[in-house]
Amino acid sequence: MKKNNFKTDSNRIDYLDVAKAIGMYLVILGHLVIMNYKPYRFINAFHMPLFFIISGMTDALKTQDDFILFVKKQIKHYLIPFSFVFIISIVQFFVFPVTWQRYVDIYQLDFWRNIYRGYLVISYFSATWFLICMFWAKIYFWFLIKIKNVVNKYVYALIWLTWIITSLLAKDIYSNIPLFHRLPMQMDSAMMGTVFLGVGYAFEFGYKRLSNRPKKTKKMTETGKKITALLLIVFGFLAVYFFSYKGNIYVNMLDLEYAIKWKYLIGAIMGSLMILGLSILCEKLNFLKVIGRHTLYMLIMQEIVYTIIIMLANYLFGLSLSPMRMKLDVYCVMISIASFCVTALIASIYYKIRTKVGDVIKIHKKDLFNKQ
């Protein structure tokens, strides 16, 4: 039986793991150049939607029917890590505040607004807003998928269209909420996350339909895959360049900033396709596949890692580099690569330790059960 190039023995999808690794590098690089408007605007057009699209593609393979079991799984994967980091962030704020970076006084309303919306800007773990956003997006998405079974296709299409429009107008809709002007804990930005989950679901559904075609047309040759990947890269890049970089202004899913909304959607989707195309070409790079399995841990710790690396570089080489304010030059590329590698290494070690501890606990529970 021939090996399926899209899956590993553990039933993971190789090119999606590679895409997550590439996306994680772009997250780190984007954070370093936030104040450098041009490269940040290009990266920010699609790097967070990419993770939602990938998640939609993988979840399409295993839809959970039992809502309670589904919620428990999402709590374990997203809500518990977010809650833990949330507590750590509060402690860090009072013990070791980020005064040199973006200190926000507790007597300012902005401090409480950020806490309210789950954005830990007060700490070195601000990117973990993605965890709570993904949690809500998965919950919304579960209901939207299940609705399909009880309404006809025209009503279902209308429901999705309404959801997409509401997501794009979220900032205008929820700005009337007194004091905070947002829904709590990223519940509003998660609406757009749900849209991208749906895009990923549609991509995977289309791929499965193609896979079920007659045998003569079913198998895509290696040459065909490479040509498809190159087309995705070229057209994806052009779409991001013209619709997002040149044709739109500042966009940020975190802040519900979508500017010219239809251009935002095109840039986000086509930029994600660009990375998926690149990941297909890099599918055989095993180290990227391994890194891609730990991107959730990497997301949590990447900010503190690149901060330490920048501090060391400044101390050892007499530089004056600053996170978020770097130019896209050789220093930025070297620090982003170093941060990516170190973060991946720490995440991999943590995963192995956690897995071994989990195995020991399972064996211990099994022994206790057998004794009873």
Across 342-362, average pLDDT: 83
User: Which pLDDT does position 108 carry in this prediction?
Assistant: 75
Q: 3-class DSSP state for residue 7?
A: strand
Structure tokens at 217: 């047309």
* Range scoring the smallest mean pLDDT among 86-95, 145-154, 161-170, 258-267: 86-95
Rounded CA gap, 326 and 322, in Å?
6
- Over residues 290-336, the pLDDT tens digits come to 999 999 999 999 998 998 999 999 999 888 888 878 888 899 999 99
Confidence (pTM): 0.89
* Range scoring the smallest mean pLDDT among 100-109, 131-140, 302-311: 100-109
Alpha helices by DSSP H, listed for the chain, are: 14-32, 37-44, 47-59, 67-74, 80-95, 99-102, 109-116, 129-147, 153-168, 170-174, 189-211, 215-218, 222-239, 261-281, 286-292, 295-317, 330-371
Rounded CA gap, 317 and 347, in Å?
27
Rounded CA gap, 185 and 252, in Å?
16
User: Which pLDDT does position 175 carry in this prediction?
Assistant: 84
> Cα–Cα–Cα angle for 137, 143, 144, nearest 5°?
85
The CB density around residue 319, as the number of other CB atoms within 10 Å, is 13
Q: 3-class DSSP state for residue 251?
A: coil
Closest CA to 164 of 144, 188, 194: 194
Q: Residue 7: phi, psi to the nearest 5?
A: -135, 150
